Structure 1
Amino acid sequence: MNTTEQIQSSYVNAQKIFSELGIDCEKVMEILNQIPVSMHCWQGDDVSGFENPDGELTGGIQATGSYPGKAKSPAQLRADIDFAMSMIPGKLRLNLHAIYLESDTPVERDEIKPEHFAKWVDWARDARVGLDFNPSCFSHPLSADNMTLSHPDSEVRDFWVRHCIASRKVSEYFGKELGSPSVMNIWVPDGYKDVPVDRLSPRKRLAESLDRIIAEPISKQYHKDAVESKLFGIGTEAYTAGSNEFYLGYAATRDVLLCLDAGHFHPTEVISDKISSASLYVEELLLHVSRPVRWDSDHVVMLDDETQAIASEIIRNDLTERVNIGLDFFDASINRIAAWVIGTRNMKKALLKALLEPTAQLKDIESKGDFTSRLAFLEEAKSLPWAAVWDYYCLQQDVPVRADWLKDVKQYEQEVLLKR
Structure 2
Amino acid sequence: MVQKQSVDEAYKIAKQRYAELGVDTDAVMAALKKVKLSLHCWQGDDIHGFLFPGQELTGGIGVSGNYPGIARTPDELTSDLHEALSLIPGNHKVQLHAIYAVTDKKKDLDELEPEDFKYWVDWAKQEKIGLDMNGTFFSHPKVKENFTLASPEKDIRDFWIEHGKRSRAIANYFGEALGQQSVNNFWIPDGYKDNPIDKATPRLRLIKSLDEIIKKPYPEKNTIEAFEGKLFGTGIESYTVGSHLFYNNYAISRNKLWTIDAGHWHPTEDVSDKFSAFLPFGKGLMLHVSRPVRWDSDHVVIFDDALTRITRSLVRDNELAKTNIGLDFFDATINRVAAWVIGARATQKALLQGMLAPIEDLKQAEAKYDFTQRLVETEELKSYPFTAVWDKFCQDNGVPVGMDWLNQIRQYEKDVQFKRD
Q: TM-score, normalised by structure 1?
A: 0.99
Give the secondary-structure state (helix, strand or coil) at the position aligned to 1:391. helix
Tell me which residue corresponds to 1:244: 244
Tell me whether 1:187 sits opposite 2:187 in the alignment. yes
Tell me whether 1:381 sits opposite 2:381 in the alignment. yes
Tell me which residue corresponds to 2:270: 270
Tell me which residue corresponds to 2:336: 336
Q: Separation in 1 of the partners of 2:238 and 2:34?
A: 41
Give the secondary-structure state (helix, strand or coil) at the position aligned to 1:39. strand
Tell me which residue corresponds to 1:21: 21
8 Å Cα contact 1:137-1:143 kept in structure 2: yes
Tell me which residue corresponds to 1:323: 323
Deviation, structure 1 residue 144: 4.4
The C-alpha deviation readout for 1:169-218, integer Å capped at 9, x for no partner, is: 00000000000010000000101111111111111111110000111111
8 Å Cα contact 1:70-1:336 kept in structure 2: yes
Q: TM-score, normalised by structure 2?
A: 0.98
Tell me which residue corresponds to 2:221: 221
Give the secondary-structure state (helix, strand or coil) at the position aligned to 2:303. coil
Give the secondary-structure state (helix, strand or coil) at the position aligned to 1:325. strand
Tell me which residue corresponds to 2:143: 143
Q: Separation in 1 of the partners of 2:217 and 2:357?
A: 41
Tell me which residue corresponds to 1:290: 290
Tell me which residue corresponds to 2:164: 164
Tell me whether 1:418 sits opposite 2:415 in the alignment. no
8 Å Cα contact 1:227-1:259 kept in structure 2: yes
Tell me which residue corresponds to 2:121: 121
Give the secondary-structure state (helix, strand or coil) at the position aligned to 1:203. helix
Deviation, structure 1 residue 2: 7.3
Q: Which letter maps to 1:312?
A: R
Tell me whether 1:82 sits opposite 2:90 in the alignment. no
Tell me which residue corresponds to 1:51: 51
Q: Which letter maps to 2:323?
A: V
Tell me which residue corresponds to 1:34: 34
Tell me whether 1:72 sits opposite 2:91 in the alignment. no
8 Å Cα contact 2:49-2:100 kept in structure 1: yes
Q: Separation in 1 of the partners of 2:395 and 2:32?
A: 14
Unpaired stretches in structure 1, ≥5 consecutive residues: none
8 Å Cα contact 2:2-2:401 kept in structure 1: no
Tell me which residue corresponds to 1:365: 365
Give the secondary-structure state (helix, strand or coil) at the position aligned to 2:398. coil
Q: How many residues align?
A: 420
Taking a change above 3 Å as real, the CA distance of residues 160 and 24 of structure 1, as seen in their structure-2 partners, is: same
Tell me which residue corresponds to 1:406: 406
Q: Separation in 2 of the partners of 1:138 and 1:404?
A: 38
Taking a change above 3 Å as real, the CA distance of residues 2 and 349 of structure 1, as seen in their structure-2 partners, is: closer
Q: Which letter maps to 1:121?
A: V
Q: Separation in 2 of the partners of 1:194 and 1:62?
A: 21
Deviation, structure 1 residue 414: 1.6
Q: Separation in 2 of the partners of 1:59 and 1:168?
A: 22
8 Å Cα contact 1:151-1:157 kept in structure 2: yes
The C-alpha deviation readout for 1:72-122, integer Å capped at 9, x for no partner, is: 000000000000110000121000000000111211101100100001001
8 Å Cα contact 1:58-1:144 kept in structure 2: no
Deviation, structure 1 residue 270: 2.1
What percentage of residue pairs aligned between the two structures are identical? 50
Q: Separation in 2 of the partners of 1:323 and 1:140?
A: 31
Tell me which residue corresponds to 1:354: 354
Taking a change above 3 Å as real, the CA distance of residues 380 and 197 of structure 1, as seen in their structure-2 partners, is: same
Give the secondary-structure state (helix, strand or coil) at the position aligned to 1:115. helix
Q: Which letter maps to 1:280?
A: P
8 Å Cα contact 2:2-2:404 kept in structure 1: no
Q: Which letter maps to 2:252?
A: A
Deviation, structure 1 residue 62: 1.0
Tell me which residue corresponds to 2:110: 110
Give the secondary-structure state (helix, strand or coil) at the position aligned to 1:141. coil
Tell me which residue corresponds to 2:306: 306
Tell me which residue corresponds to 2:260: 260
Tell me whether 1:8 sits opposite 2:8 in the alignment. yes
Q: Which letter maps to 1:116?
A: D
Q: Separation in 1 of the partners of 2:383 and 2:154?
A: 58
Q: Separation in 2 of the partners of 1:128 and 1:60?
A: 34
8 Å Cα contact 1:57-1:139 kept in structure 2: yes
Indicate the RMSD between aligned Cα atoms, in angstroms: 1.0
Q: Which letter maps to 1:363?
A: K
Q: Separation in 1 of the partners of 2:205 and 2:65?
A: 36
The C-alpha deviation readout for 1:245-267, integer Å capped at 9, x for no partner, is: 10001011010100000000111
Tell me which residue corresponds to 2:91: 91
Q: Separation in 2 of the partners of 1:182 and 1:271?
A: 24
Q: Which letter maps to 2:370?
A: D
Q: Which letter maps to 2:54?
A: D
Tell me which residue corresponds to 2:202: 202
The C-alpha deviation readout for 1:310-360, integer Å capped at 9, x for no partner, is: 111111111121000001000011110110000000011111111111111
Q: Which letter maps to 2:357?
A: E
Deviation, structure 1 residue 288: 0.3
8 Å Cα contact 1:287-1:325 kept in structure 2: yes
Unpaired stretches in structure 2, ≥5 consecutive residues: none
Deviation, structure 1 residue 53: 2.9
Q: Separation in 2 of the partners of 1:67 and 1:342?
A: 16
Q: Separation in 1 of the partners of 2:289 and 2:335?
A: 20
Q: Separation in 1 of the partners of 2:283 and 2:148?
A: 27
8 Å Cα contact 2:193-2:235 kept in structure 1: yes
Give the secondary-structure state (helix, strand or coil) at the position aligned to 1:32. helix
